[in-house]
């Protein structure tokens, strides 16, 4: 089972925190805003496996822009 993570780019502060801490799932785009990914694919709609939910949730909780979310 997986959940989909995405970044609300309008609220991204371009701090790079998520991309620095968890590059497996976060990268910065050409406009220096964060986006989720899986190996460079599923851009800003990354399916996160259950074993990494807590790790991604930690990035969500610590994001200064509060812009990382789970798709509902």
Within 8 A by CB and 6+ apart from 31, the residues are 9
User: Within a 10 A sphere around the Cβ of 40, how many other Cβ atoms?
Assistant: 7
Of the candidate ranges 1-5, 11-15, 19-23, the one whose mean pLDDT is the lowest: 1-5
- Residue 1, pLDDT > 90, answer no
The fold adopted by the segment(s) 3-67 is: Alpha-Beta Plaits (3.30.70)
How far is it, in rounded angstroms, from Cα 22 to Cα 50? 16
Summarize pLDDT for 18-68 with one digit per residue, the tens: 999 999 999 999 999 999 999 999 999 999 999 999 999 999 999 999 999
User: How many Å separate Cα 1 from the centre of its chain?
Assistant: 18
- Tokens standing for 41? 């694919």
pTM of the model: 0.94
How far is it, in rounded angstroms, from Cα 51 to Cα 30? 30
Extents of the domains making up the chain: 3-67
- Residue 2, pLDDT > 90, answer no
């Amino acid at each position: 089972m997986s959940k989909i993570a995405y970044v609300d780019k309008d609220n991204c502060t371009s701090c790079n925190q998520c991309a620095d801490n968890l590059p497996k799932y976060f990268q910065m785009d050409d406009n220096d805003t964060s986006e989720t990914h899986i190996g460079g694919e599923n851009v800003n709609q990354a399916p996160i496996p259950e074993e990494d939910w807590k790790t991604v949730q930690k990035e969500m909780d610590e994001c200064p822009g509060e812009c990382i979310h789970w798709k509902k």
